[in-house]
Structure 1
């Protein structure tokens, strides 16, 4: 299958996974831009560095009438000021005394920004002459991009260079002459990621990590849909926002031509071990893709890795319970179960409780009222964001201990945007469960044409796949063993039992297919249908 789908006339580009190679930006200086950009700078102290940052921005090749610069002073005493050399459309804001920190400052700038694109920039950066243009030439090609520029960290002594020297050098396209380039350092981990993933094109779900707010740009509509920055985080807030941008459908582009120089080493370079120690306590709970940090077998996390939706309306208490309990007993503990139904209408008759309307819903609410991994909704939200995977499972079908883990791992490994799981067949439909990748469906919704089924667009941008439910361990409630304490206490033992069952099923199929007088074919197994409604596979 091809790695990308090219666009027809007027058709939005379809970037498959993160392979932005289907986009061909124009060469700088050869095109006519139309989108506006808001450069948002959070600043605290260091008036001298801010002066150099604004002097460089005043010498950009991108049209000044399409550019605004918003500087947010995060409580500097004495307050920062706008220098003599600055872009034409530059404003200076200040954060409120009770709202301080980089996230609050950037959010204040975002609230003021009026551009089609928001370009994050630190207050100690010297941008090259076409840095903004290099970002914007990508954004004109698609409306769901995050673009990361190329930053090098240079030594800096106060007073050298001066704002006038910076402005003159950047205007002349000679910003690299201002610093000792041989002693500069890049974002080493971004360079390493780029080398391992063909410039991020094969990075898959790890591409979000390049959203670093010292030199990144984001489509403003996409940013407002996913954002703003999480003010509960003091560090790591740009990584967490990058993850949410991915769940909103973003594709991440590395733009080495968008060059800038950071005046001095970054905080991470100066204090890497202590920052990592801090971030590892705060960030993994909000970013499910950080699987290497979520190794505890029983921990609950603020944002789970998967959501399982079960339609409780019209289904029996027993069927819904069997499905929900099967999910909760699985080895993928990082999960939430969403039960959908008319909960507001389920009222208990206090004199004759057995005659209550919607009795089965009342029983479910009573059973799971103390379970933090079960939530009740009257309607299922259109997206699972920020949860990356959503499984919709018919009530009365029970996943085995390893089923959900194996299903999600398969989708993640192969990058499938949709995995449909065949459970049973009716006369005119297949009963199926659906595992949807949140980011893939968000991307598909952005690029699909009027009247086009969403699943078709998902197939283009991420791929679709069918699997057999029995081989994954799905069983009807009538055949499944109820979840009991201790049954899944040992994940290693559970995986070994699953492996043996799969091997036994494979050998049984081999013997049945021989047809040469070997062991007789096993009798056809009759699977009773669960009580409840049929789910068609027409998608959405």
Structure 2
């Protein structure tokens, strides 16, 4: 198959054929995980029996995930539909989908939930993209309905055949608003950054190249929820491009859990997602935590003990907490036989081994583990971090250097930063910060013998920077820094000086407190005098008023007596 070079997420370089106006060749397996969904499963299969995609290129695998009673196939199903039970040893949607993937024979695997009713061209709309490039993940477009009364499988099949599926159900006002907003704000997802595009991966209707899905180990069957979020991250790391197709429409019967009880779902999923998806930075705010999948994988080759230790120590002290460091070297060659400890030819290697052997943040790996610059890790089930740093020993990044470099790469959605550290007679000393998904994409589309850095630059971008300008410098001449022993007399003098300084500080505090108390006493004395003056003034006024009142009463009494004694005067 042709392998077009899509830059980042810009699948606009591809021109999908018009529906009904092309000749498909790829086979597809539709995997339907189901648990106690007999009624809606019947409608899903009825709609699949009327698809526009050729029936001879389609197989349907229904996986019964422990339903009670067991599921059965109704009369209206596509030809060759198989119903298989999920094997013992696990349960949940991821377990059922993986069972279907193991049984699938198609070139493409389309996963469809058992409460979905696809429109007539749903499968065709998704499969036309897979004919254009072998690393696309195509997402269906979902309309929700909360109707309780549902049509019969016969009516569903007739409506799908006639192209009148929209009349089957009333449209719910609920939508995947968050996903549709991301799509709309980024030109149909074509301009979305890599760390954002993976967020819209919703597994209710999505199709994958079977080879790509198997190369990353399929689904994480240890998860019973959030498996589509985790799978979307690993697909991104494998170099996938996400394509939402509004013409791949389907009805969702009822509202999903995320719409019915978002808070409870988020509370359940956050710990699992935080551990496995480093791009969800807002979930990793706990200081000092370590995670299953770090944000940055740093590689340091073994060398002089002081050089290696300086570089590794600086990485572990980074402001970016979730960094994993791998020191590569011929550890297996270190023997245990008798040797001269101080004149051992492998002394530096032994000292590095002794320094980091028991640090859980550091891995000691063989030389074969050192990744070639510009070469992606091979496929496998291991979940890899989003970024990879290759740095020579003896070069010490400042506390925030790695965090700033990752921020620069994210801001520009770049593929690789090459950091020129020094120039020697042997050439330029370089450190590299690589986006793992960019490496994977380049490996997918590179021609045999082609220089991978050229392809990286084409599909994501490669930028050169000055390492010292980003505070990556040579280690100190003495590492780790040593402090000379302090003589006893000097130590005692320092202690006495410290005690005298403390006494001086205490004396100054007491003097300040005494001055404050004196000011307080003076204020209170002034207040007392002021109130004493006011009291004397009030007393005098009271005496005056009393005398005035007595004279008034006396005059009134005299007038009454005179009136009684001389009534006619």
TM range (shorter): 0.7 to 0.9
Tell me the distance in 1 between the aligned counterparts of 2:236 and 2:65: 28
Q: How many residues align?
A: 471
* 1:372 maps to 2:370: no
Matches within 5 A, 1:33-44: 33-44=24-35
- Name the larger-Rg structure: 2
Cα shift readout 1:366-404 (whole Å, capped 9, x = no counterpart): 111221110011122564552111111011111111111
Shift of 1:36: 0.9
Q: Deviations over 1:489-509 (max 9, x none)?
A: xxxxxxxxxxxxxxxxxxxxx
1:196 lines up with 2:185 in the alignment: yes
Kindly state the Cα deviation for residue 186 of structure 1 after the two structures are TM-superposed: 2.2
Match status 1:69 vs 2:60: yes
Once superposed, which parts of structure 1, at least 4 consecutive aligned residues long, lie more than 6 Å away? Answer: none
What SS does structure 2 have at the residue aligned with 1:308? strand
Cα distance in 2, alignment partners of residues 356 and 430 from structure 1: 31
Residue equivalent to 1:156: 147
Question: Where do 1:51-62 residues align within 5 Å?
Answer: 51-62=42-53
User: 2: distance between equivalents of 1:112 and 1:375?
Assistant: 37
Deviation string 1:110-154 (CA, Å, 9 cap, x unpaired) is: 111111111110001100000000000111110001111100110
Which of 473, 490, 511 is residue 475 of structure 1 equivalent to?
473
Partner of 1:532: none
Query: Is 2:245 the partner of 1:255?
Result: yes
Give the counterpart of 2:134 among 139, 143, 147.
Answer: 143
Greater fraction of residues in helix: 2
- Write out aligned runs for 1:75-474 (5 A): 75-157=66-148, 160-181=150-171, 183-204=172-193, 205-312=195-302, 315-349=303-337, 352-354=340-342, 356=344, 358-378=346-366, 379-380=368-369, 383=376, 386-427=384-425, 429-474=427-472
Alignment of 1:489-500 (within 5 A): none
1-side partners of 2:445 and 2:234: how far apart? 19
Q: Note if contact 2:147-2:170 (Cα within 8 Å) is conserved in structure 1.
A: no
User: SS in structure 2 opposite 1:285?
Assistant: helix
Cross-structure match for 1:523: none
State the distance in 1 between where 2:481 and 2:324 align: 17
CA distance in 2, matches of 1:247, 1:480: 40
Question: In 2, are the aligned partners of 1:347 and 1:357 still within 8 Å (CA)?
Answer: no
Instruction: Give the 3 Å change call, closer, same or farther, for CA 480–359 of structure 1 in structure 2.
Output: closer
SS at match of 1:425: strand
3-state SS of the aligned residue for 1:283? helix
- RMSD (CA atoms): 1.7
Distance in 1 of aligned mates of 2:188 and 2:139: 11
Q: Check whether the contact 1:398–1:480 (CA below 8 A) recurs between aligned residues.
A: no
- 8 Å contact kept, 1:249–1:443: yes
CA distance in 2, matches of 1:426, 1:351: 35
State the TM-score, normalized to the length of structure 2: 0.80
Equivalent residue number for residue 28 of structure 1: 19
Secondary structure class of the residue paired with 1:249? coil
**1:273-311, CA deviations, whole angstroms, 9 ceiling, x for partnerless residues?**
100111112111100100111122322111000011111
Change (3 A) 1:453 1:480: farther
* Deviation, structure 1 residue 65: 1.1
Q: CA separation in 2, counterparts of 1:189 and 1:63? A: 34
Q: Is the 8 A contact 1:101 1:234 kept in 2?
A: yes
User: Is the partner of 2:187 in helix, strand or coil?
Assistant: coil
Query: Shift of the alpha carbon at 1:426?
Result: 1.9
Kindly tell me: are residues 482 and 297 of structure 1, through their superposed partners in 2, closer, same or farther at Cα, counting changes over 3 Å? farther
